[in-house]
Amino acid sequence: MEKVLKTKRKIRFQDCDPFNHLNNAKYLEYFINTREDQIAEHYNLDIFKLMKTTALSWVVASNQISYMRPASTMETVVIESQLIQYTDNVLLVEMKMWNENETELKALLWIKFIHYNLQTTKVANHADNLMQLFQSVVVPVEQTVFENRYMEIVQKMKSYA
């Protein structure tokens, strides 16, 4: 089972600012929409079907994002995602947006999701089958602080240049 998921997306005109750069707020939409598609395709996990049948889903608790290079109108980008940490009721996903050749990093995102019961309106623990899935796909990173992870990635990219 793939752990690091990658998808190509085209940056659309309506999502860009007057400089023809992807609007800062739109990065989150591209990231979230891509992650939803990736987990449905690669892990057979349809979060909307799960929500309808169990009243359980995930809510975004926090986002930490660094914008490194602009993504431009009609540019093809690669959006990469991986689960880097999980607990009984929390997921931490790291996402990167690259240029099409994956040589230029455009943005780095950590997004924290909390598992939530829509009926009780309380945090809920993940089911055993989800915990097994998470165990099989998690790719832990050494850093537990976003800024340290950002610096590590920047340093790695400089050493490749």
Among positive and negative, which fits the CA dihedral 10, 15, 107, 59?
Answer: negative
Per-residue pLDDT tens digits for 43-84: 999 999 999 999 999 999 999 999 999 999 999 999 999 999
> What's the number of domains the chain is made of?
1
* Buried-exposed string 86-96: b where 16+ CB fall within 10 A, e elsewhere: beebebbbbbb
> What φ, ψ does residue 90 adopt, rounded to 5°?
-130, 145
pLDDT for the residue 160 = 75
Per-residue pLDDT tens digits for 13-40: 999 999 999 999 999 999 999 999 999 9
Q: pTM here?
A: 0.96
CATH of the domain at 13: 3.10.129.10
The answer to whether residues 46 and 57 touch, using CB atoms and an 8 Å cutoff, is no
Give the 3-state secondary structure of residue 26. Answer: helix
Per-residue pLDDT tens digits for 69-122: 999 999 999 999 999 999 999 999 999 999 999 999 999 999 999 999 999 999
- pLDDT tops 90 at residue 157: no
The answer to whether residues 137 and 43 touch, using CB atoms and an 8 Å cutoff, is yes
The answer to whether residues 60 and 115 touch, using CB atoms and an 8 Å cutoff, is no
For 141, the domain range is: 5-160
pLDDT band at 161 (very low <50, low <70, confident <90, very high): low
Distance (Å, whole) CA 132 – CA 11? 35
The answer to whether residues 23 and 83 touch, using CB atoms and an 8 Å cutoff, is no
Distance (Å, whole) CA 69 – CA 104? 8
Distance (Å, whole) CA 96 – CA 7? 11
